[in-house]
Structure 1
């Protein structure tokens, strides 16, 4: 089933359910009100009858007064279909027929206490005030046989009002007046209410159907726009934008969809940039590997055909050895990066003094820096305690220093180490060419080289992997790395390593 029909159906179900509940509640309320109003009316008649019954003609006997009064009253109430029964102190009928016992003991008990008895429907099995129903007429000579029909086939509503007389010992029952009206007369108002509710329900159904269609069409049209936009994204269009307001959950969904498209577009651009750098990397690696391989192959062929003088052979072997080591270094850097990135590299972290490692980095790269006219300055106290893997810490500092040498001519490279609360800070600062904001954005990504033309020296400068390796190692240590740089001024790379128990958590590398 389509969503628009589901919405229409759900709206109709809710509306019609509410109408039915309200309708049934209204009918029951009107029914109860009709009976209550009828009870009040009948009790009013009974009260007035009890007053008039004892104020007849002064010169007539009591029975003559009653007979005259009841005859007049019957004539007056004829059009209202009311029935009247008069009972004596034993609660047996005296009018219109005398000597009949038509009430149950429970009803008599209430009347003797001076309470009014109400009977909603004398044909209902649930009514308990009247005697059980028997077939045929009730005779005075057979008091065991009683009738709840009271000489009529129609259903009646009754009110029995006790007649009490004050005595020295208290209130005493002297009789009762039982007056009733037809149930169908009471239900006339209820039937009118039912008819009105049915009409209102029919009108409500038609109006709700129209409104449900309008609302459902509006809601589903907004969802349809999202569906069309999703299809466009599927087909590769990442410039899609779904217009929305800030009103409801569908607008929130549209906003999230737009953010997703922007994120996808950004990711797509990054993937393309990554692919471009990968292609550049493959070209660089091919170029770097072709040079030493060509050198090694040429020297081997020269030796094979005795084209190299005897005295030059040791130098040729030494050159081949250096070129072979260069090839091994390129391969090892790539393997090392993959091992670190995949988490296969196991760190052995201990707490130690990093001063010796900083000194080793200075001594190891001093000659390499001198070839470029640079000098390495060590700025650190004699004790710099750190919680890290010693070999990997040295690798990180070597990579950062080599990167500084690569992009610095006739400058100074300063290597620092300092303690702070719950951690250690290392920094490598150079006075080289620096970087702009765009270069800083990608500097830690694999294959990226801020200035490929400056990749002259060994190590990380050839592959563009050195800073990516540093980033992965810092994160595995639970630390942080940041870079500050300004073109033609220099760059500063800072590593923060935390003490045990204070490391940062990363979801991925």
Structure 2
């Protein structure tokens, strides 16, 4: 069943239940009041008849006088009131019938003691008054004269007369029920349509998101649950859009990496294959063979470096390396790295300047620290031409801080968001031979520093160079973060 019909059915059931409870309560109240009013009216008639009989003849003999009773019957008939008179033995003496009715001993004893009996339906109480063609309701009262019991009188009217207001109340209830159902049907449709239409719009928005449209927003006002659901939906869509953008960016960088890797692998493989074919068919002169073999060796190392960088990154990212952290002098490592990369810097006409104390204690894995600095300095060389690369370092409270600053091409604000992600290159067109050219160097640096419990920051603007700052804490002060 559709939700709109479920809502309509719920509203209608509530309306029907409410109207029924109120209606039946009102009918029950009207019924009680109608019968109570009738009993009081009959008792008033009986009291008036007793007074009239006392004034008619002495000793109350008029009460049992047929002529007097005929006159009473004539007067009461105009009010559609019927009565019967019983003598001191409980036998009916008026009106006279062939089969005289006698009150039961139980009920006659109650009347004789002065109790007033209310009879709702004489056809339901056979022992008291017997069946009549038209059911009657009334009271059975003792008749006394100067305190002496001389008989009993029954006064009543037809049940149909008493229940006329009840039938009217039932008709009004039925009319109210029909009206309430019609109005309730219209209102429930309007309310249900409003509620389900908002949910329907959310469902359509969800389908659009499933189809890849992340610009959908559900704009609802109010403070109900559907509005809160719409707000959560909007937050989810924004998160999915951001995630989708990041995935696309990752895919783009991966595709770029695959293209670069394919290009980088094709060149050395072609070179190696050409040299091997030349050696196989003696197409290379003996004098040129050492040079060809050296070229083949360099190209092989180039391929190995590409594979190793990927394997190294995967191990670091999955915490598959064990750090052997010790306290050592960072200056010595920086001097070694500078000597190692001096040749690469010279090719770009770059100068490497070290502004680090002779003794700079640091707590880290020496080999991995070396790897970090090689990647950072190589990254600076890669994107700087005819410039300066300055390495600074100093001690802080329970930490060692080292910075690598260059005045190269720098990075935009958008590029800074992805600088530590795998395969990202700030400027692929400036790739040079050497470590870091495949977009893995800074990813490796970031992962290693996190595993050390340290921090890394980068500041850069386009064409204004870049500043990388790493913080490695002393033993016991590391700040580990979830990856």
Which bin holds the TM-score, normalised by the shorter protein?
Answer: 0.7 to 0.9
| 1:495–1:95 CA distance, 2 compared to 1 (3 A) | farther
Question: Equivalent residue of 1:101, what SS?
Answer: coil
**Contact 1:369–1:375 (8 Å) recurs in 2:** no
Would you say 1:365 and 2:337 are equivalent positions?
A: yes
Match of 1:462 among 437, 451, 463: 437
Alignment of 1:394-409 (within 5 A): 395-396=371-372, 399-407=375-383, 409=387
Match of 1:440 among 398, 407, 416: 416
Alignment of 1:193-204 (within 5 A): 193-204=169-180
| 1:272–1:99 CA distance, 2 compared to 1 (3 A) | closer
Partner of 1:278: 254
Partner of 2:106: 104
Whose helix proportion is higher, 1 or 2?
2
Give, in whole Å, the separation in 1 of the partners of 2:381 and 2:46: 119
**Contact 1:333–1:465 (8 Å) recurs in 2:** yes
**Offset at residue 280 of structure 1 (A):** 2.1
- Number of residue pairs aligned between Structure 1 and Structure 2: 465
Question: Equivalent residue of 1:413, what SS?
Answer: strand
Partner of 1:485: 460
**Contact 1:91–1:108 (8 Å) recurs in 2:** no
Q: Using the TM superposition, name which of 73-82 and 327-336 deviates more.
A: 73-82
**Offset at residue 188 of structure 1 (A):** 0.9
| Structure 2 length-normalised TM | 0.74
**Offset at residue 449 of structure 1 (A):** 1.0
**Structure 1 residues 438-460: Cα deviation after superposition (integer angstroms, max 9, x where no partner):** 1111112221111334443632x
Which structure 1 segments of 5+ residues have no match? 125-129, 134-146
Alignment of 1:67-466 (within 5 A): 67=65, 72-84=71-83, 92=90, 96=94, 100-102=102-104, 104=106, 112=113, 117-124=117-124, 133=126, 147-150=127-130, 152-160=132-140, 178-226=154-202, 229=205, 239-240=215-216, 244-246=220-222, 248-252=224-228, 261-293=237-269, 296=272, 305=283, 307=285, 309=287, 313=290, 320-341=296-317, 343=318, 345-346=319-320, 348=322, 353=326, 355-356=327-328, 358=330, 361-371=333-343, 372=345, 373-378=351-356, 395-396=371-372, 399-407=375-383, 409-415=387-393, 428-433=403-408, 434-456=410-432, 458-459=434-435, 461-466=436-441
| 1:395–1:69 CA distance, 2 compared to 1 (3 A) | farther
**Structure 1 residues 296-343: Cα deviation after superposition (integer angstroms, max 9, x where no partner):** 556666765453538x93x765665444333212102212334454x3
Give, in whole Å, the separation in 2 of the partners of 1:482 and 1:103: 111
Give, in whole Å, the separation in 2 of the partners of 1:54 and 1:271: 109
Partner of 1:142: none
| 1:82–1:453 CA distance, 2 compared to 1 (3 A) | same
Question: Equivalent residue of 1:157, what SS?
Answer: strand
**Offset at residue 250 of structure 1 (A):** 4.7
**Offset at residue 215 of structure 1 (A):** 4.2
Q: Using the TM superposition, name which of 330-339 and 438-447 deviates more.
A: 330-339
**Offset at residue 189 of structure 1 (A):** 0.8
**Contact 1:357–1:394 (8 Å) recurs in 2:** no
Which structure 2 segments of 5+ residues have no match? 346-350
**Contact 2:53–2:62 (8 Å) recurs in 1:** no
| 1:45–1:280 CA distance, 2 compared to 1 (3 A) | same
**Contact 1:288–1:462 (8 Å) recurs in 2:** no
| Structure 1 length-normalised TM | 0.71
Question: Equivalent residue of 1:458, what SS?
Answer: coil
**Offset at residue 43 of structure 1 (A):** 4.0
User: RMSD of aligned C-alpha atoms?
Assistant: 4.7
Partner of 1:28: 28
| 1:365–1:502 CA distance, 2 compared to 1 (3 A) | closer
Give, in whole Å, the separation in 2 of the partners of 1:361 and 1:109: 122
Give, in whole Å, the separation in 1 of the partners of 2:369 and 2:139: 103
Partner of 1:127: none
Give, in whole Å, the separation in 1 of the partners of 2:449 and 2:352: 27
